[in-house]
Amino acid sequence: MKWQLFISAATTAWLFCTVSAHAERRQPTHNLEVFRAWLKANPQPRTTVPPATDVQTLGGDLFRDKNLSLNRNQACATCHSFTPPKNPVSGQPLPASGFVDPENVETGSAVSRGSVRGRFGVLNAPAVAYAAFSPQFHWDGQAAQYVGGQFWNGRAANLDEQAAEPFLNPLEMAMPSKWAVVTRLKENARYRRSFEALFDIDLNQIASYERAPASAKPPPGVIAAYDAMTRAIATFEKIRSFNRFTSKFDFYVAGMTDLTSVERFGLELFNFKALCSRCHVSEPSIAPNGSVFPPLFTDFTYENIGVPRNTSIPGNPSPSLGLGGRKDVATKSPAGNHIGKHKTMTLRNIAVTAPYGHNGVFATLEEIVHFYNTRDVLGRVASDRDPGFGVKGWPVPEVTLNVNFEEVGNLGLTPDEEAALVAFMKTLTDNYPAFGNDPNVPPGTPSPFVSTPFPPFP
Ligand code: HEC
Ligand code: HEC
């Protein structure tokens, strides 16, 4: 709610508008000169990165703790890893972590293993990086669309709600109940101390029940402890390490370095001919309080771009119905207006988070760009296993309802233009000062957006 107020009050005053979705999709102003002139006239405070709070430190421990999964073999960080994945060809570490499942990046697998051997998820793990900027899930009446939330279908309104799910998901961490999770928390002396000190919760007071089934009525304190745990994790997800704003593009936007001519051409296409920025917002903006807001490469809305089925997912799950597959959304829209729509994900760090799409059917950036360009004109192949996939044609969309034909599917891009788009997206990888070998941005250069505040979360 607060976020919505923030948006409506802010949009009129912002130099360029971001984040809020409009009925008329944004037309890029692409007016970096105006932005840079403003920056020059209003030097930004070089606030240093604040040290993690105690709650964030606790959240970090929880995020990395494998003991909170059924077989003590899986943490949040297993599928949203801090360690950069290895380049599958060279075996060298990639320049940044996208906070996805490194096994997916390294082997091309679309989905993640669960804590229970032989179980797999059904969707591709998205980045945790920058997820904290997604507004609370809501219906934007003016734009007539759903905005924000977490997961491909937005079913968690915010990060707190999101963090409650993986522990109990039988295909992920597979714990039988909140009570069982809290019993695991109790094992850890540090957690016992932190919960007492930070939340005034005495874990010792809660009876242990290692295998508590979901049907068992939890004793007092379990729900409060579980909620405190998810809150700590959500708070941790707002630290700088996940939200660095240190890509080449960020330094370019701030006027500190330049893109190559191919990258600049790619940006131009991204904003205009290829229509990408209609959904993956590429403009920086300035908030009424003068803080600078970098582009997040998403407007947090939902679309069906016609992703074909990935037949290689273990168990061959039925197609994901996305937003419209949710009971609450379906009840409000009996005509099925939102079936097949999935969240527009950020493109920050996209070069290090293969494969692509909610079901990971696209192996490379080249492939998904070719899809955007030719979905409706290349021809048909039977499935993603056809050797002609992406060459002779594309399979039918996994879900044929509500496919976006206006902005996606026949862009008329040449092969050079497709390549330029890919080159541009590679400028969105964090840690540029460390790997860029750019004298204008030497190692250690802080993000030009170091003072970007997190939006007010309810
Ligand atoms: C087994 C792998 C796995 C584990 C473990 C896991 N996740 Fe995920 N995560 C996923 C997948 C897959 C999705 C997408 C699922 C969906 O949309 O239904 C996801 C989605 C998310 C999202 C939403 C991102 C967005 O932009 O919508 C966040 C945030 C997240 N996970 C955080 C966590 C946290 C916190 C934990 C630990 C409590 C965790 N994950 C554990 C695989 C995993
Ligand atoms: C109409 C809105 C829209 C437009 C226009 C659009 N996208 Fe997307 N994009 C999305 C949505 C929605 C998804 C997730 C779709 C899914 O998986 O079902 C997505 C996913 C992606 C992904 C994969 C993200 C991931 O985490 O796996 C990439 C890469 C991407 N888009 C690049 C582009 C490029 C490049 C263009 C321009 C050629 C573009 N998009 C145009 C909405 C859009």
Please work out whether the CB of residue 403 comes within 6 Å of at least one atom of ligand 2: no
Residue 341 and residue 319: Cα distance in Å, rounded?
Answer: 12
Share of the chain above pLDDT 70, in %: 93
* pLDDT score of 367 more than 60: yes
Ligand 2: residue whose CA is nearest its atom 2: 279
Burial 235-250 (b: 16+ CB within 10 A, else e): bbbbbeebbbbbbbbb
* Pairing label, strands 138-140, 145-147: antiparallel
- What local confidence, expressed as pLDDT, does residue 28 receive? 59
* pLDDT (tens digit per residue) in 62-103: 999 999 999 999 999 999 999 999 998 999 999 999 999 999
The mean per-residue pLDDT over the stretch 355-374 comes to 98
Q: Residue 130 has what pLDDT?
A: 96
| Confidence (pLDDT) at 417 | 98
- Each residue of 380-434: pLDDT tens digit? 999 999 999 999 999 999 999 999 999 999 999 999 999 999 999 999 999 999 9
Cβ burial of 101 (10 Å; 0-12, 13-18, 19+) is buried
SS3 362: strand
Residues recorded for the chain: 458
- Its sign, for the CA torsion 290, 294, 300, 306, is positive
Task: Using the predicted structure, report yes or no on whether residue 197 has a pLDDT greater than 90.
Answer: yes
Nearest atom within ligand 2 for CA of residue 127: 26
Q: Which amino acid is at 454?
A: F
SS3 300: coil
The residue-averaged pLDDT of 292-302 equals 93
Whether 22 shows a pLDDT value over 80: the answer reads no
d(CA 270, CA 108): 26
Percent of the chain scored above 90 by pLDDT? 83
> CA 119, CA 306: separation in Å to the nearest integer?
27
Residue 45 CA to residue 423 CA, distance in Å, equals 31
The pLDDT tens digits of the residues spanning 175-190 come to 999 999 999 999 999 9
Q: Is 175 touching ligand 1 by the criterion CB < 6 Å?
A: no
Dist. CA 456 → ligand 1 center (Å): 22
Give yes or no for a contact between 155 and 345, defined as CB atoms under 8 angstroms apart.
Answer: no
Q: pTM of the full predicted structure?
A: 0.94
Question: Can you say how many angstroms the Cα of residue 312 is from the centroid of all Cα atoms in its chain?
Answer: 23
Tokens of 31: 């007016």
> Which pLDDT value is given to residue 26?
60
Q: What is the pLDDT of residue 30?
A: 58
CA 429 vs CA 243, 248, 251, 423, 436: distances in Å: 12, 7, 12, 11, 10
In this structure, how many other beta carbons lie within 10 angstroms of the beta carbon of residue 219? 14
Angstrom distance (rounded) from CA 146 to CA 346: 16
Among 66, 128, 133, 155, which is best to mutate for testing ligand 1, by the most ligand atoms less than 8 A from CB? 128
pLDDT, greater one: 448 or 308: 308
Q: What is the pLDDT of residue 27?
A: 61
Write down the pLDDT at residue 12: 33
> What's the pLDDT at 450?
84
For residues 277-296, give the mean pLDDT: 87
Q: Is 104 or 285 the better-scoring residue by pLDDT?
A: 104
The alpha-helical segments, DSSP class H, found in 121-257 are 159-163, 178-186, 189-199, 222-236, 248-253
Structure-token match 């091309």, residue found: 108
Least confident of 43-57, 263-277, 431-445: 43-57
Query: What residues contact 344, with CB distance under 8 A and at least 6 apart?
Result: 279, 280, 298, 299, 300, 301, 302, 303
Q: Give pLDDT, residue 290.
A: 79
Cα(341) to ligand 1 centroid in Å equals 18
In angstroms, rounded to a whole number, what is the distance separating the alpha carbons of residues 357 and 368? 8
User: Which ligand ends up closest to the CA of 62?
Assistant: 1
Q: Is the pLDDT of residue 149 over 60?
A: yes
Q: What are phi and psi of 325, to 5 degrees?
A: -85, -10
What element of type H or E holds 57?
A: helix 54-63
**CA–CA dist 360, 337 (Å, integer):** 24
pLDDT on residue 14: 37
